[in-house]
């Protein structure tokens, strides 16, 4: 995931990680006291001190750069050696990096908490590690009302199990055409637009995670698919492909269901893209989800 642009900021003067670092420097160097001054590129300067009281005796200092900051280390009664400078530089870089990531996470979480879409983040094991308020409400509806996803020709499946099964298939690499975009028709009559994408690594990699975005959609009329196919003059086989696409099936599953080759499925998809003016599955699903049924005679006139 790309880094969010944030101006480098110094940690607060009482940052516990920097305080522990200075205590370690004092113990390793035998200094009576230790002080660290950190200056960012925008001119912000913050001083940090160990718990040992500073005195007016002799002291020595050393200046060095770390990430986007300039650091000056002062030791009372001791000289900063190369080893001490390397230790402070290494540890300080980790502290600053963790602070930057924490700030980014806080901004992302604040943004996701305000969106109307339900957002679920799954780790590499398929466990939920974050759910924003709309996602919490959706999961509560699942628990209280037993929401199920209805698919033609298949038994209804609990909503969360349907989402989780797609997430697992993305994590283990069985679904490679990302993002996975599919509408979920729920047992209470509502429709969710579901988009699933992988973040933070490749399939099967420890750092990989999956993001599921769920957005309520207006319920589709019962004759929607028939009107859509008539409007775009789709062949019977292309209509079958559209139906399977709405079920969230990939190329291999479509080929198996239709008893044709994957190459033939791709040919059908290309013709569908051409007839509907789209370029990808996500584009086709987008117009499928947002289209409205036109009067039958209007469709017949085309």
Asked, colleague to colleague, whether 116-219 and 221-302 share their fold, the answer is no
Q: Name the percent of the chain lying above pLDDT 90.
A: 22
pLDDT, tens digit (0-9, with 9 covering 90-100), for 55-78: 777 778 888 888 788 999 999 888
- The mean of the pLDDT values for the chain is 81
Boundaries of every domain in the chain: 16-112, 116-219, 221-302
CA atoms of 265 and 267, how far apart (whole Å): 5
CA atoms of 46 and 181, how far apart (whole Å): 48
User: Long-range contacts of range 26-30, CB-CB < 8 Å, 24 or more positions apart?
Assistant: 26/50, 26/52, 26/75, 28/84, 28/87, 29/75, 29/78, 29/80, 29/81, 29/84, 30/77, 30/78
Q: What 3-state DSSP class applies to 190?
A: coil
pTM score: 0.53
Report pLDDT for 121: 92
pLDDT, tens digit (0-9, with 9 covering 90-100), for 181-201: 887 777 766 678 888 988 876
Helical pair 262-276 and 236-246, crossing angle rounded to 10 deg: 90
Angle at 239 between CA 237 and CA 243, to 5 degrees: 115
Report the pLDDT averaged over residues 36-48.
89
CA atoms of 15 and 197, how far apart (whole Å): 36
Architecture of domain 116-219: 2-Layer Sandwich (3.30)
Q: With a cut of 50, say whether residue 7 has pLDDT above it.
A: yes
Q: With a cut of 90, say whether residue 79 has pLDDT above it.
A: no
Architecture of domain 221-302: Orthogonal Bundle (1.10)
pLDDT, tens digit (0-9, with 9 covering 90-100), for 232-267: 899 999 988 988 877 767 788 889 999 999 999 999
CA torsion 78-82-84-87 (nearest 10°) is 170
């Amino acid at each position: 995931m790309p880094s969010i642009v944030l101006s480098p900021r110094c940690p607060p003067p009482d940052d516990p990680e920097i305080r522990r670092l200075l205590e370690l420097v004092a113990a390793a160097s035998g200094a009576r006291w230790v002080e660290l001054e950190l200056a960012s590129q925008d001119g912000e300067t913050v001083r940090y001190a160990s718990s040992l009281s500073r005195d007016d005796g002799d002291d020595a200092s050393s200046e060095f750069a770390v990430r986007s900051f300039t650091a000056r280390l002062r030791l009372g009664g001791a000289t900063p050696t190369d080893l001490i400078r390397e230790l402070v530089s290494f540890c300080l870089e980790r502290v600053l990096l963790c602070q930057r990531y924490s700030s980014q996470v806080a901004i992302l979480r604040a943004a996701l908490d305000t969106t109307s879409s339900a957002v679920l983040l799954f780790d590499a094991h398929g466990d939920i590690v974050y759910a924003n308020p709309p996602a919490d409400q959706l999961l509560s509806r699942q628990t209280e009302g037993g929401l199920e996803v209805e698919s033609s020709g298949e038994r209804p499946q609990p909503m969360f199990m349907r989402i989780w099964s797609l997430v697992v298939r993305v994590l283990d690499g069985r679904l490679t055409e990302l993002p996975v975009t599919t509408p979920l028709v729920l047992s209470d009559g509502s429709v969710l637009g579901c988009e699933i994408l992988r973040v933070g690594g490749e399939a099967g990699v420890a750092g990989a995670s999956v993001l599921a975005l769920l957005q309520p959609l207006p319920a589709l009329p019962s004759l929607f698919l028939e009107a859509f196919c008539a409007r775009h003059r789709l062949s019977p086989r292309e209509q079958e492909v559209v139906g399977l696409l709405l079920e969230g099936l990939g190329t291999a599953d479509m080929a198996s269901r239709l008893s044709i080759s994957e190459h033939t499925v791709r040919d059908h998809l290309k013709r569908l893209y051409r007839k509907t003016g789209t370029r990808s599955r996500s584009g086709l699903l987008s117009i499928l989800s947002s289209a409205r049924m036109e009067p039958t005679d209007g469709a017949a006139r085309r």
